[in-house]
Amino acid sequence: MAEASAAPLLDVQGVTLRFTTPERQVTATSRVSFQVQDGDRFVLLGPSGCGKSSLLKAVGGFLKPEEGRILLHGRPVERPGPDRMMVFQEFDQLLPWKTVLGNVAFPMKVGGGLSGREVEERARHYIAKVGLAAFADAYPHTLSGGMKQRVAIARAMAMKPDILLMDEPYAALDALTRRRMQEEFLALWHDIGFTALFVTHSIEEAIIVGSRILVLSPHPGRVRAELDAAGLDQQQQGSPEFQRLHQRIHSMLFAEPVEEVPA
């Protein structure tokens, strides 16, 4: 565990994100700051409209902050890059014209610097880690939703990114599969030890998956709290600590009446 005083891996400083549509300008987040340390499972939690996905995309380099800075290892994020691999919610994030092996190997090939054999070995290693060794030569359209998300996770991890960006990766899965995926995610973290920034709108998922939770309130997205959730996983789901944290976040999110703003 990194010391709290150590230089953060990811430093988000007062970030304001705005979208301009032909008719209006919408502020997605307003001066959001947080720091992710090496080895964190850092969760951005909030209802729809709190800008959590936009924040993740800004860290990914897909959106430019209008105000504030995003620093990775002290260097500002300017554009998308393979040091911040993203896992999306959508199942169609895999390239349909490549097999499972091809999908996992592709970003490594694009990046260069590895021989063909190394690429294949590493790809097969991570495909085995997510339990899909038997499906290496299958095309994505023959896989179930959960399997596709596992491939996307293997693809991201095989790049050994500084930070893994996960945009509600399990939101489109059925409840049973989602549970299994959360367990597997934690097992992989204990096994490999990566840093992840994880977006979700489920309080339960945030507590299970996260070690730190940033609670955001909507319209525009602002930081409501940053909480510690290390040590609470599925085994503790019935425990009083789990319930207490759940209740605390719940009352934070539902304290203010919800007002919908037209998109």
Partner 1 sequence: MSLSATAPRRATAARPEREEAPIAASAITEPVVRPLPFAQRLAAQGWFRRAIVLVCIAALWELNARLYDNPLLFPSFGETAAALLRLMLDGTLPDRIGTSLEILLMGYAVGILLAAVLTSLAIGSRWGADLLSTLTAMFNPLPAIALLPLALMWFGLGSGSIIFVIVHSVLWAVALNTLAGFRAVPDAQRMAGQNYGLRGIRYVLLILVPAALPSIVSGLKIGWAFAWRTLIAAELVFGVSAGSGGLGWFIFERRNSLETAEVFAGLMAVIVIGLLMEGVVFRTLEARTVVRWGMQR
By CB under 8 A, is residue 107 in contact with partner 1? Answer: yes
Q: Rounded to the nearest 10 degrees, how much is the dihedral formed by the CA atoms of 204, 32, 263, 25?
A: -170
- Helix and strand numbers (H, E) in the chain are 7, 10
Report the distance separating Cα 53 and Cα 50, nearest Å.
8
Q: Which of residues 54-73 bind partner 1 (CB under 8 A)?
A: 60, 62
Select the residue interacting with partner 1 from 114, 139, 177, 180 (CB under 8 A): 139
State the residue for tokens 């719940």: 250
Region from 25-33, 64-72, 92-100, 129-137 binding partner 1, contact rule CB under 8 A: 92-100
Q: Binding partner 1 by CB under 8 A: which of 111, 116, 131, 145?
A: 111
Stretch 191-220: interaction string toward partner 1, x if CB under 8 A: ------------------------------
Cα 79 to Cα 9, 59, 61, 72, 213: the distances in Å are 17, 9, 4, 12, 26
Residue 92 vs 174, nearer CB to partner 1: 92
Which among 5-13, 102-110, 179-187, 202-210 is the span making contact with partner 1, rule CB under 8 A? 102-110
DSSP-assigned beta bridge partners for residue 165 = 86, 197
Instruction: Give the Cα separation of 20 and 262 in Å (integer).
Output: 14
Report the candidate in 197, 216, 201 with the shortest Cα–Cα distance to residue 77. Answer: 197
- The reply on whether position 96 binds partner 1 by CB under 8 A is yes
Where does this chain touch partner 1 (CB under 8 A) — which range of 3-11, 134-142, 185-193, 237-245?
134-142
Number of residues that bind partner 1 (CB under 8 A): 25
Residues at the interface with partner 1 (CB under 8 A): 60, 62, 79-82, 84-86, 88, 90, 92-97, 106-107, 110-111, 139-142
